[in-house]
């Protein structure tokens, strides 16, 4: 099975928004590290937030930072980007599900807006499900960095010493 996924043009804007949310999450993770009085003694604390920021930035570089111009399909390597891709899409799904809650409470009367929210939520669920199935078919651990910023090789050989410093 191919590790390549085509993100449909209609989903790229939602993915981009989710990736910006990922950058925000990384900033929130790094702020306490930067503000810690002992940050000089623990540069390893930068690893996870910087890895998360780098992953979001790398996928934004691929899908494009700007929504200017007509939307186009984007080809994504799941081996490299599946974790940040799923986090970004799930964060957007949460937003759409909150909006669905407003619909159910009767707070949204505009039929076109309601229909758009329902369609986006369904499309996000379908895309997330597709990605999860593809990752499973690829063996689950398809490489790239994990949520702790470790490469596939580091997960296989945890005894290997790490260089120190946040950019090691």
Token readout for 113 is 């807006």
> pLDDT confidence of 128, banded at 50, 70, 90?
very high
- How many helices (H) and strands (E) would you count in the chain? 5, 2
> pLDDT confidence of 77, banded at 50, 70, 90?
very high
pLDDT per residue as tens digits for the range 78-112: 999 999 999 999 999 999 999 888 777 676 667 78
What is the distance between the alpha carbons of residues 98 and 117, in angstroms, rounded to a whole number?
10
> pLDDT confidence of 147, banded at 50, 70, 90?
low
pLDDT averaged over every residue in the chain: 84
Domain boundary assignment for the chain: 4-148
pLDDT recorded at residue 102: 75
pLDDT recorded at residue 140: 77
- The answer to whether residue 156 scores a pLDDT higher than 70 is no
pLDDT recorded at residue 23: 97
pLDDT recorded at residue 15: 97
CB-based contacts of 85: which residues, under 8 Å, 6+ apart? 5, 15, 59, 76, 78, 131
> pLDDT confidence of 160, banded at 50, 70, 90?
very low
- The answer to whether residue 49 scores a pLDDT higher than 70 is yes
For residue 123, CA distances in Å to 82, 120, 159 come to 17, 5, 42
DSSP state of 121: H
pLDDT per residue as tens digits for the range 5-44: 999 999 999 999 999 999 999 999 999 999 999 999 999 9
């Amino acid at each position: 099975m191919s590790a390549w996924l085509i993100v449909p043009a209609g989903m790229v804007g939602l993915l981009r928004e989710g990736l910006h949310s990922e950058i925000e999450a990384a900033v929130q993770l790094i702020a306490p590290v930067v503000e810690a009085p002992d940050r000089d003694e623990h540069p390893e604390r930068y690893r996870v937030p910087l890895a998360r920021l780098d992953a979001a930035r790398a996928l934004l570089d691929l899908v494009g930072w700007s929504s200017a111009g007509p939307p186009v399909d984007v080809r994504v390597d799941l081996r490299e980007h599946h974790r940040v891709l799923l986090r970004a899409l799930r964060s957007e799904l949460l937003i759409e599900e909150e909006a669905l809650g407003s619909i159910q409470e009767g707070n949204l009367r505009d039929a076109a807006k309601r229909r758009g929210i329902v369609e986006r939520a369904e499309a996000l669920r379908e895309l997330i499900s597709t990605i999860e199935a593809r990752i499973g078919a690829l063996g689950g651990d398809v490489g790239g960095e994990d949520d702790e910023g470790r490469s596939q090789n580091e997960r296989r050989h945890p005894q290997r010493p790490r260089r120190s410093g946040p950019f090691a």
